[in-house]
Structure 1
């Protein structure tokens, strides 16, 4: 993902308005600032997880498995819950399996299928990562009051509900 380090100034955006009169400088400026902030948050999460030897996609698989009472799920369910393709999920699972963090189990009802279960080593990895994650998320979010956080989340949800306009 490209992380734009230098955000456009109002002056530079005005050049675009001259060429594209329908451009709304304020909307564009707000949008790129949001993109930058959310990219920076995701990048910070990547760095936190990397200190624990994880990539974000693999971490999410472990988190999704932890949500299950039996720490087990199908690859297709994991892909759907993570919002990735089955092929991408297979890559995550392959890497986690190589590291001994998950195992593939044959489905007793259909031998053509298999399930993914978090191993004790996978649970140990989460037990190592999650306290650090929770501590750092708490510290990050503490710069906003409850009302600011509620407004931020609601506004982000409103934008997400309107993403069809970008397609």
Structure 2
């Protein structure tokens, strides 16, 4: 993924808005800054997880399974919750199974039906990763007050609603 390291100045944005009158300079500036922070956070999370032999995709699958009763879910449900294709989920599950972090449980009546279960090793892996993750997250967010976090959550919710403007199917 390409990451914009050099955010444009107000003067540059003003230049663009002179050419493209649809441009709202403050909206563009805020949007680009949010993208930059989100990219940096994603890279930082990957660096943290890599110290534990994981990347985000595999980690999220383990988290999703831990959230389920008895740590069991269907691959299609995991794909939906993770926002990935079934094929991508199959690849993630193959790697997690190879590392004994999850196991496939085949239905005795229909071997085509399979569930995924978090193994004891998978839970141990999460028990190693999560304290480090939560410590880093707490430090990352320490400069943001509870009131500011509430405002941030409200803003992010509004942005999520507004994201429909990027829907190309419209």
TM-score, shorter chain, exceeding 0.5: yes
In structure 2, what is the equivalent of residue 150 of structure 1?
150
TM-score normalised to structure 1 length: 0.95
RMSD over equivalenced CA pairs, Å: 1.1
Instruction: Return the offset for 1:68.
Output: 1.4
**Matched residue of 2:23: which SS?**
coil
Which stretches of structure 1, 4 residues or longer, exceed 4 Å deviation after superposition? Answer: none
TM-score relative to the length of structure 2: 0.94
Listed as ranges, the gaps of 5+ residues in structure 1 are none
Q: Distance in 2 between matches of 1:18 and 1:153?
A: 33
1:122 matched to 2:122? The reply is yes
User: Structure 2 regions of 5+ residues with no counterpart?
Assistant: none
Number of matched pairs: 167
Matches within 5 A, 1:43-122: 43-122=43-122
**2:161 matches 1:161:** yes
Mapping 1:14-53, distance limit 5 Å: 14-53=14-53
Deviations 1:18-76 (A, max 9, x none): 32122111111111001111111111111110111101010000001111121111100
Deviations 1:122-157 (A, max 9, x none): 111011001111111111111111000110011101
Distance 2:150 2:108 in 1: 45
1:109 CA displacement: 4.6
Q: Distance in 1 between matches of 2:98 and 2:165?
A: 41
